[in-house]
Chain A
Amino acid sequence: MQVAGGKWQVASGKSRITHHASRFTFHVLRLTFLLLILTACHSNHPTWERIEQEGVLRVGLDPTYPPFEAADEDGAFGLDVDLAQAIAADLGLETEFVYFGYDGLYDALATEQVDVLISAMVIVPGQMRDFAYSDPYFNAGEILIVPADEAAIEGMADLDGRILAVELGALGHVEANAWGQRLPNLTIQTHNSAAEAVTAVANQQADAALVDAISGRLALKDTPTIKRITDPVTVEPFAFVTRKDDERLLENLNASLKHLSETGQLDAITSRWLN
């Protein structure tokens, strides 16, 4: 048998095979070693390296969810937009906002059209096979709104014998019904919207309103006669989303988010859009 230039001449004797085999082993080892070095040199963080090289963080968002994100002829604006810009500045980067429909955000990230989603994204356990979430930056769960001078209500447990306003059918209504089984004298008053439920408190038609944090905190901006109870009733955190393999990017985003939180910038941005 003779193959390719005569180097594998099996018929010519055992010693010749052994000689060529040892040379072959040597070459394989050398090649393996080189591959190992190349692999070690090759970056595991191509997204972050590209961001650093270009100096631009590409942010995907759905600009139809004020006050978190909206857009007009001047571009995107809102809480998430300000936060993305603050994060980017902290990392020495510029931002580029790319708009998608809400249903297309994950696909846009998966197909590398953007580096990160900052768009009031809730944490979805089912997505964690392909995506990773940052530390939470906002809790959009249900909160209690009470009159500004109310001192006796610190949580849901204090509402027995009181009137609680909710939006008909909303998650606050579901939660109120669940509490109603524990508080026999709780009266649940339904309204057509969260804003109307909060207004009922301001107008002294209800003792408290249980609404989502976004609606509740928006209402507080214009109504000084009401306040929110700081402890949320339910938890629905918003977080940034990256591709799962982009670990360095996520580390940097989390570090920057922590920095903004510690320096009060996160609170300042949130308060700019929500009370």
Chain B
Amino acid sequence: MNDELAASHSAFSFQLAAFSLQPSAFKTGFRLLILTLILPLLQPAPILIMPGPPQTVYSEHPITAVHTRLTDEVEEWKIQRTLQLVREMGATRIVEFFPWAYYQSKDGSIAWEHPDQVVAHANAQGLEVIARIGLTPYWARPKDTPLTYLDSSAYDDFAAFTAVFAQRYRGKVTHIIIGNEPNLNYEWGYRAAAPQDYVDLLKTVYPAVKQANPDVVVLAGALAPTLEPAGSPWGLNDLAYLTAMYKAGAADYFDGLAVHAYGLTFPPQTAPAPDLLNFRRVELLRQIMLDNDDEETHIFITETGWNDHPRWTMAVRPGQRIQYTLDALRYAEANWPYVETVALWVFRYPAPTKSYMDYYTLVTPEFVTKPIYDEIKQYTGN
């Protein structure tokens, strides 16, 4: 070792000593550092999910649709698989929930990644998307209020978000539903909300959305089928609520009416009555529309179906559920020219709820199709 090298070695050793490290320890540490940098690069790349070539829905009964529940589905391949199965079943449209609260931050920025995925995969499968917008971000509601809380101070923010949504998905999302079941206090965060409140919301949102995207069809939120009397802390009878909406001047602020038409324990042919909650309650809502000279406005059934839970009091046997569902699709197609779509609740959940809600699904979380799925698929000619 010459003097220069020795001096250099000495200086290096001094530096190592300053960090209380021996040369061998330094080598080990250096190797670990390199390993740490290389290892992540050795991980397999995430699977790239592409929407794929455009598909077309084949359906001999295009009125058939389904409400998907992709809001909480975080894996893209599952979103794609769900929508493939929807297409193969012969449903022409999906109804999907897009929660404002999940997407928009206080600074106004919007996380579009998830809704982009859902819309892109739905379109790739040839499915029309009916988007329901709801749930209020924390910054647009008072502290300690639930996600469903919405008051007039946030109507402009809600309208602005919905307009941006409509603009972004112009040609991709064909229908937008403003809120959900506004005749229930729960849907207002337990704020006692009169029909006038909801009509005020429509009057704020509708022009903003139409200005952003004149092509989109704006649907008034489906009312919950309920017999709750005026003054109830839970909500208000849907027939009374719709009548009051028209009285408050709602007619010019929606293009179509979303409707929830659950059959509960009754066959779909059961005649309607004001004090009965069944599938044909749609006809009573329609009569209110006619009474208010709103014949041109169509109905979109965005939730319907029967449940086959073994214990729930509102359930039927699994075989009845299949029969009633097919009969309901046939009945709507044959008798209700003003109904554009009949969407079944619900296609699939990402995980079991272990409650009666699992017994509304057509496909299990593991993507096993239920017999009702197969029967609908056969009905649509697939």
Interface of B is mostly: loop
Contact with A along B299-335 (1 / 0, CB 8 A): 0000000001011110001110110000000000000
Q: Is the CB of B371 within 8 A of A122?
A: no
Interface size class of A (residues with CB under 8 A): 20 to 34
Chain B nearest CB from A190 CB (Å) reads: 8
> Does A110 interact with chain B (Cβ within 8 Å)?
no
Do residues B368 and A174 form an inter-chain contact, with CB atoms below 8 A? yes
Whether the Cβ atoms of B319 and A192 lie closer than 8 Å is: yes
| A168 neighbours in B (Cβ, 8 Å) | 318-319, 322, 371
Residue among A65, A103, A174 with max Cβ neighbours from chain B (10 Å): A174
Smallest Cβ distance from B363 to chain A, in angstroms?
A: 10
Show 17 residue pairs from A and B whose CB-CB distance is below 8 angstroms, ordered by the A residue. Answer: A62-B311, A64-B311, A124-B353, A126-B354, A126-B355, A168-B318, A169-B319, A169-B372, A173-B370, A173-B371, A174-B364, A174-B370, A174-B371, A177-B368, A177-B369, A193-B319, A212-B310
- Residues facing B in A71-128 (CB within 8 A) are 101-103, 120, 122-126
- CB of A125 within 8 A of CB of B354, answer yes
| Chain B residue with Cβ nearest A167 | B318
Residue of A nearest to B352 (CB): A125
> B368 near A124 (CB under 8 angstroms)?
no
| Cβ contacts under 8 Å, B355 to chain A | 124, 126
Distance between Cα atoms of A192 and B372 in the complex (Å) = 14
B312 touches A122 (CB 8 A): no
How many pairs of A and B residues are in contact by the CB < 8 Å rule? 57
Given known contacts A170-B308, A192-B317, A193-B317, is B371 in contact with A177 (CB within 8 Å)? Answer: yes
Binding site for B on A (CB under 8 A): 62, 64-65, 101-103, 120, 122-126, 167-170, 173-174, 177-178, 190, 192-193, 212
Closest to B316 in A: A169
Per the 8 Å Cβ criterion, residues 79-115 of B in contact with A are none
How many B residues touch the partner, as a band? 20 to 34
Q: How far does the alpha carbon of A167 sit from the alpha carbon of B310 in the complex, in Å?
A: 12
Q: Once the chains are docked, how many angstroms separate the CA of A174 from the CA of B348?
A: 14
A123–B319 touching, CB < 8 Å? no
Roughly how many angstroms separate A170 CA and B370 CA in the complex, as a whole number? 9
* Chain B residue nearest to A181 in the complex (CB): B368
User: Beyond A64-B313, A126-B354, A168-B371: 8 further Cβ-contacts under 8 Å?
Assistant: A126-B353, A167-B317, A169-B308, A169-B321, A170-B308, A173-B370, A190-B371, A192-B317
Please state if A173 and B312 are interface contacts (CB–CB under 8 Å). Answer: no
Q: Within the assembled complex, what's the spacing in Å between the Cα atoms of A192 and B310?
A: 14
Q: With the chains together, A109 CA to B311 CA distance in Å?
A: 19
CA distance A212 to B308 in the complex (A): 14
**Most A-side CB within 10 Å, residue of B319, B322, B353, B364:** B319
Contacts of B308 in A (CB 8 A): 169-170
Whether B318 lies near A101 (C-beta < 8 A) is no
Looking at B312, B318, B353, B374, the one whose CB has the most chain A CB atoms below 10 A away is B318
The CA-CA distance from A69 to B322 in the complex, in Å, is 29
Which chain B residues numbered 264 to 320 have a C-beta less than 8 Å away from chain A?
308, 310-313, 317-319
Contact with A along B35-49 (1 / 0, CB 8 A): 000000000000000
| Cross-chain contact A178 with B368 (CB below 8 angstroms) | yes
- CA–CA, A168 and B319, complex, Å: 5
> Which residues of chain A have C-beta atoms less than 8 A from B354's C-beta?
122-126
Q: How far is the CA of A139 from the CA of B172 in the complex (A)?
A: 47
Q: How far is the CA of A126 from the CA of B371 in the complex (A)?
A: 27
Chain A residues with CB below 8 A from B370, complex form: 169, 173-174
For B310, what are the chain A residues with a Cβ–Cβ distance below 8 Å? 212
Find A65's partner among B311, B368, B369 (CB 8 Å cutoff): B311
A192 to B194, CA, bound (A): 46
